[in-house]
Structure 1
Amino acid sequence: MPANHVDAVIIPVSASALEGHVRELAEDIGERHVGRPQSLAAARDYISSQWQTEGHAVEFQEYDALGVPCANLSVALPGIRWPGQVVLMGAHYDTVPRSPGADDNASGVAALLQLSRRLSGCRPSRTIRLVASVNEEPPFFFWEQMGSAIYARAARQRGVDIRAMFSLEMLGCYRDEPRSQQYPPFLGRGRPDRGNFIAFVTNIRSRRLLKYALAAFKVGTDFPVEGTATFGWLPGVSWSDHINFWRQGYPALMITDTAFFRYPHYHSLQDTPEKLDYRRMAAVVEGLARMLIRLADDECL
C-alpha cells in the first residue's frame, strides 16, 4: 500500500454490508425512477444518509427531469498533493420500470457506499470523488437529462481536471458454468466462456486509462479481470454513465459483470437480491479500492 494510506483505520469491504445495501434499495425501496418519484427520493435519501453517517459532506446537484426533482450526490476525499486533479468513480441509483434493480444497479451503489468506508483512512495524492447519479436508464439514456450528463457537463464548464472516471455498472453476477459468458460481435475470440470475471470496458480514446487501471487492479487483487478498448458503437460498450464523460473529453471506462451478456435477469422483475454473489462482489470492490488508491497516487496518470 502507498505510504499515505493509514493502515490502522482500514475497514474491510464486507459482503454482508453489500448485501444489506442491495436489499435496502431493491427490496425495501424497490423500482426507483421518475415514474415513482417517492421511491427515487427514498433511494437518494438512503445514499445521502449513509454518507452523512460516516461524516462525509454530501454535495447535491439538483435538477428537474420530466417535472420531477432529481439529484446527483457526491462525496470527496481531498487530495493532499494534487487536490485539483480528480479520480472519479460513479454509479447510477435509478432503475428501469418494473424491475427492482438488484444488479442494475443497486450493486454499483452498494459498491460506492462500501468504497467510502474502505477509503476512510486514505489520504490520496489526488482527490477521489464518489458520485451517485440519477436517470441513467431510459427514457433518459443517451440524452442530456441523464444525471451523469448534467454532472460531466458542469464539471467541464468549471474546468474540473478529471484524470479518470469509472462507471460501476452491475457488479454482482458471476457464473462458473461453461458457455455462461457471451460477448458483443468481434470481441469473444480468445476470451473466457465462463462468466466469472469482472470486465473493464472503454473506447479506443481511453485505452491509456484502461492500461493503467488494469495494472493497478491486478496489483491489488488476483480476482479475474478482462479488459478491452474498442469501438463505442458495439452493443453494450457505451451503455452507462461513462459515455457522458467521453463526450466532455474525459478519459472514462465502465466496470461491469457484462450485464445481459451474462446475467439472464437484466432489466426484469427477477433482478432480485438473492441472485447476486456478494462474496465475489466484495473481492471486486476490495480490488477497486486498492486500484483507486494507486491511481490517485500515480504520477503518470
Structure 2
Amino acid sequence: MQSHAHRIFGLALAALAVLSVAGSIMSDPRSIAAPAVSAASQTTELAALSERLQAHVRKLAGEIGERNVFHPQALRAAADYLRAQWASQGYQVVSQSYEAYRVRSENLEVTLAGASRPGEIIVIGAHYDSVSGSPGANDNASGVAALLELSRALAQAQPVKLARTVRFVAFVNEESPFFDRGEMGSMVYAKAARARGDNIRLMVSLEMLGYYSDAPGSQRYPPLFGFFYPDRANFIGFVSNFASRRPLREWVQAFRSHSDFPAESLATFEFVPGVAWSDHLPFWREGYPALMVTDTAFYRYAPYHSRRDTPDQLNYPAMARVVMGLQAALTTMASRPDRSR
C-alpha cells in the first residue's frame, strides 16, 4: 500500500503527464453503433470478418482455454492453431523457440516482403498466452484474432506490393511471471532483432481489442486523464511514449481516414499505469518506435485477468470495424513514401 506522500507524488506525476499531452490530444467522440447507411458489400464484409474474429476467439479462449507455461499442452495447442491458420493463408511460418520454466515456448512469425524498401520493417504483434487463471478471451485472444485477420487481408491483397516489409508476430509469455523479464517472448524477439540490426520502423502491439460500450461512465482513466477523454468506452485507443509520438499521429490519421469508428490517442510518459503494459515495451527498450492499440483493458473491462474473460463478453461487430480500419491504416503506412522516423 502506498504512503500518503507517495499518493500525492503519484497524482502530481499524473497531472504532469496530462498537461504535457493535453494540447495534442486527438478526440473522436462518435458512437460505436454501425453507420445508418452502408454499402451492401461493406456490410457483408464486416459480417464475415466479425464471424471469423469470433471463431478465432472461441477456439483460443473457449476450446483451448487457459494457455501458458502452467498449461503447456494448451500453450502448444494455441501455437499449433496459429501455425495452421497462417499456413492456410499461404505464409511460411518461422518459429523462434526457447525455454521458460522448462517449457518450450515459441514466438511465431510470418512475413510479407516489401517491394521497393524491403529493409524497412513494420512489426504487428500480439501475445497468445493468457494469464494464470483466465481463459483470456479479450486478453489476448482478441488481439491474436485481429493479427490473423490482418495477415489474411494483406495476403489476399497481393499481388499489390507494399513498399515496406510487414512482419506479423505472435508472441508467447507476455503475462506474469514473465512480463518485463528475459523470458518474455517479445523481449526475446526484440533483443534478437536489435542484434541482427533489423531496421524496424515501427512495432504495433495489438492488446485487448474486443470490449466496447456506449453507456455513460463505462470508461475510466488514471487520475486527471478523465478531464480530457470521454467517459464512454466506445472507442479504440492508440498509445505511445513521447519518442514514438510521430508514428502514433500518422497511424491515427491513417485509421481515421478509412474508418468511422471512434479513436482516441495518447503520447505520454511510460510510467503512467497501463501505458507500457504490453509487447511494445521491449521494443522501446531496444530503441525501436512502438505503439499499442487497445480498448484500454482494465480501465473499462471488468473481467480483466479473471475467469470471466470469456468469448461471450466481446463485441465482435465493433471489433470487426476496428480491424478493418487497422487493415487500411497498415496498408497506408506500409506503402507511404520514405521518411525519417
Equivalent AA in structure 2 for residue 228 of structure 1? L
Cα separation, 2, equivalents of 1:143 and 1:216: 33
C-alpha separation between the residues in 1 aligned to 2:243 and 2:223? 20
Aligned partner of 1:263 among 277, 301, 304 = 301
Find the partner of 1:84 among 116, 119, 129.
119
Q: Which aligned pairs between 1:15-26 and structure 2 lie closer than 5 A?
A: 15-26=50-61
What does 1:217-228 correspond to in 2, within 5 Å? 217-228=255-266
- 2-side partners of 1:294 and 1:55: how far apart? 22
1:180 and 1:262 in contact (8 A); partners too: yes
TM-score of the pair, normalised by structure 2: 0.84
Aligned to 2:104: 69
2:139 pairs with 1:104? yes
SS at match of 1:260: helix
Find the counterpart in structure 2 of residue 51 from structure 1: 86
Deviation at residue 187 of structure 1 after TM alignment: 2.1
Corresponding residue of 2:225: 187
Cα separation, 2, equivalents of 1:219 and 1:49:
33
Task: Say how many residue pairs are matched.
Answer: 291
Partners of 2:108 and 2:228 in 1: CA distance: 40
**Greater CA deviation, 119-128 or 160-169?**
119-128
State the AA in 1 paired with 2:210. Answer: G
Runs of 4+ in 1 over 6 A off after TM superposition: none
Deviations 1:147-183 (A, max 9, x none): 0000000000001011011000000000110010001
Partner residue in 2 for 1:138: 176
Aligned to 1:254: 292
> What is the DSSP-based 3-state SS (H/G/I as helix, E as strand, rest coil) of the residue aligned with 2:201?
strand
Aligned partners of 1:198, 1:163: CA distance in 2, in Å? 23
Q: Quote how far apart the aligned CAs of 1:185 are.
A: 2.3
**CA–CA distance in structure 2, aligned partners of residues 101 and 91 of structure 1:** 13
- The question of whether the paired residues in 2 share the 8 Å contact of 1:30 and 1:39 is answered with yes
The answer to whether structure 1 residue 281 and structure 2 residue 316 are counterparts is no
1-side partners of 2:200 and 2:326: how far apart? 18
> Which runs of no fewer than 5 residues in structure 2 stay unpaired?
1-44
Partners of 1:173 and 1:112 in 2: CA distance: 17
Give distance in 2, aligned partners of 1:55 and 1:213: 27
The 3-state SS of whatever aligns with 2:225 is coil
Q: Which one has a bigger Cα radius of gyration?
A: 2
The answer as to whether partners of 1:185 and 1:234 remain within 8 angstroms in 2 is: no
Question: What is the TM-score with the length of structure 1 in the denominator?
Answer: 0.95
Identity %: 54
Looking at structure 2, the residues matched to 278 and 54 of structure 1 have their Cα atoms a distance apart, in angstroms, of: 22
Deviations 1:36-88 (A, max 9, x none): 10000000000000000111000100000011000000111110010011111
Answer 1 or 2: which has greater helix percent: 2
TM-fit CA distance, 1:116: 1.2
1:190 deviates by 2.2
RMSD (Å) for aligned C-alpha atoms: 1.1
